[in-house]
Amino acid sequence: MESTREGSQVGVLYIVATPIGNLDDITERACRVLTEVDVIAAEDTRHSGRLLQHLGIQKPMISLHEHNERNRADALLRRIEAGESAALVSDAGTPLISDPGFVVVREARARGVRVVPVPGACALVAALSAAGLPTDRFLFAGFVPAKSGARRAALQALAQETATLVFYESPHRIRDMIADIAGEMGDNREVVIARELTKTFETFYSGTAAELMAVLADDGNASRGEFVVMVRGAPSRAQQAAGLDVDRMLSLLVAELPVKQAAKIGAELTGLSRNELYQRALAFKSGR
Ligand code: SAM
């Protein structure tokens, strides 16, 4: 790949993350790329224009949002194919994460245009990094449907998911969302709400779904701003089994079945290791 200017390359589409509130979160690399590209495609040119002005960058912009992405993608990619470089930005955070850009990135890759991420702020990652919920496995579900019935159905479909669940939610619906989480996943499900990340009134609320419903009902400010909602995953079968009287289950099974079969069924019911259950079942059979 030819490099004509300091660092940035021609014929490249850069996917540039911008701040989610605190303007200091723009990276040096993002500033450099935005300064050097030929054109910036922005979800909202007025909004991104203010960021560029703050950064002292003047650059031609085109709008590329949810409703015109299909039409604009081709024109943008033609310019890149002709040797220009472009940056894609959204209103806040990382483009494509609940933001426009999928169509143009997909098309760019199909056409062999190089796509380069310039990483930075992303609300879901910032929220997870400080929530105190397990992060080894998480499922980002974006915005759930706005209508109550569809939202409840979406939450119900996720109720048995064992990974930490992460949602984006608007201030108008945050109360209903937490009420529906309580309804579909139980009053006692652990929930963390990250509000106004990186901004002056950044707050984390954590507790059971029922406790957070009470917080939102009591404190009007708690339902203002921008939100990431995180829900602890459902207990795995092995964790559920920890609350089950495994020995009683095994003693009933070995009374009716050979040890090997009792261990196999026990493992299927609980998610525990078949070998471990075999040893325990053997002890029951031999009366130890
Ligand atoms: N692309 C963005 C990102 O990387 O996070 C997300 C864009 S999405 C249209 C906007 C939603 O992200 C908001 O409604 C809110 O749920 C979440 N969000 C964005 N900024 C946030 C912030 N500062 N604090 C909490 N949530 C935020």
* CA 37 from centre of chain: 29
Among 1-10, 44-53, 78-87, 201-210, name the one with the lowest average pLDDT: 1-10
CA distance 144 to 170: 10
Q: Which residue has the higher pLDDT, 183 or 219?
A: 183
Instruction: Determine the distance separating the centroid of ligand 1 and the alpha carbon of 87, expressed in angstroms.
Output: 20
Per-residue pLDDT tens digits for 120-154: 999 999 999 999 999 999 999 999 999 999 999 99
Q: Other CB atoms closer than 10 Å to residue 121's CB: what's the count?
A: 21
Report whether pLDDT(110) > 50: yes
Per-residue pLDDT tens digits for 41-98: 999 999 999 999 999 999 999 999 999 999 999 999 999 999 999 999 999 999 999 9
Structural domains of the chain ordered from first start? 6-121 (3.40.1010.10), 124-231 (3.30.950.10), 237-285 (no CATH)
What phi and psi values does residue 267 have, to the nearest 5 degrees? -65, -40
Q: Is 181 in the pocket of ligand 1 (CB under 6 A)?
A: no
Instruction: Determine the distance separating the centroid of ligand 1 and the alpha carbon of 39, expressed in angstroms.
Output: 25
Is the alpha carbon torsion for 271, 276, 281, 284 positive or negative?
A: negative
Q: Is 105 in the pocket of ligand 1 (CB under 6 A)?
A: no
* Chain mean pLDDT for the chain: 93
Instruction: Determine the distance separating the centroid of ligand 1 and the alpha carbon of 187, expressed in angstroms.
Output: 26
Residue 261: closest CA among 250, 248, 247: 250
Residue with tokens 């979800």: 43
Nearest CA residue ID for atom 20, ligand 1: 20
Nearest CA residue ID for atom 23, ligand 1: 197
What is residue 7's predicted lDDT score, i.e. its pLDDT? Answer: 55
Which pTM was predicted?
A: 0.85
Q: Is 126 in the pocket of ligand 1 (CB under 6 A)?
A: no
Q: Is 21 in the pocket of ligand 1 (CB under 6 A)?
A: yes
Beta strands in 103-226 (DSSP E): 114-118, 138-143, 164-169, 190-195, 203-208
